[in-house]
Amino acid sequence: DLIPESHRIPFKSRLGSILMKKMDPDRLDDHLFEVVSLRNSSIDSVPGDERVSMAKMNLRAGMKAAENGSFDMAEVYFKAGREQLGDAGWKDEPDMTIQLYSEGANASLFCGSLDTMGRLIDEVLAKDIPIEAKLRCYDIKMRALTAASDWAQIIDIGMDVRRQLGQPVIRNKPVPLWKIMKEY
């Protein structure tokens, strides 16, 4: 109880900021989760000029958490990174924003948060960005549909992606029943 309740969150955030600035990169990597979590304790207090670097740190922490199989923590870090960038991220930091959304969707898939996964994927797919930037989201969406055994929708998405990439697409022609029976 050395620090009054009303000062704890700003204190944690300030402590995280100091550690982030003072630690050498190797040591910071060893304590990445602790430092980023401290800094995230008061996301609203992060100055505008630090928001991009905080989003990068959250992306880094999220990727590290996902590599370690801690998808619930990865989901938290990716969300914090998206909040740091806000809507301006699509214009100012599009590559990082796409990665925060797509990796967040992947973490949500592993956590079973299918609504969150769908919302994140839909937001990326609705943006006017190159198809190559959307491929990770299509991959995640198709993996989720595989788990649901929705083969028809997987094929439709795959064909749509091939079409958008300018690749040839096989037409789905109806086959008469007598032709199917003849082959058996």
Residue pLDDT tens, the chain, 184 long? 666 776 666 666 666 776 777 777 787 778 888 888 888 877 766 667 788 888 999 999 999 999 999 999 999 999 999 999 999 999 999 999 999 999 999 999 999 999 999 999 999 999 999 999 999 999 999 999 999 999 999 999 999 999 999 998 877 677 777 877 787 7
What pLDDT is attached to residue 161? 95
What pLDDT is attached to residue 56? 94
Half-sphere exposure in the Cβ direction for 154 (13 Å, CA): 12
SS3 sequence of the chain: CCCCHHHHHHHHHHHHHHHHHHCCHHHHHHCHHHHHHHHHCCHHHCCHHHHHHHHHHHHHHHHHHHHCCCHHHHHHHHHHHHHHHHHHHHHHCHHHHHHHHHHHHHHHHHHCCHHHHHHHHHHHHHCCCCHHHHHHHHHHHHHHHHHCCCHHHHHHHHHHHHHHCCCCCCCCCCCCHHHHHHHC
Q: Alpha-carbon distance 78 to 134, whole Å?
A: 17
Look up the pTM and report it.
Answer: 0.82
What pLDDT is attached to residue 171? 73
What pLDDT is attached to residue 9? 65
What pLDDT is attached to residue 28? 74
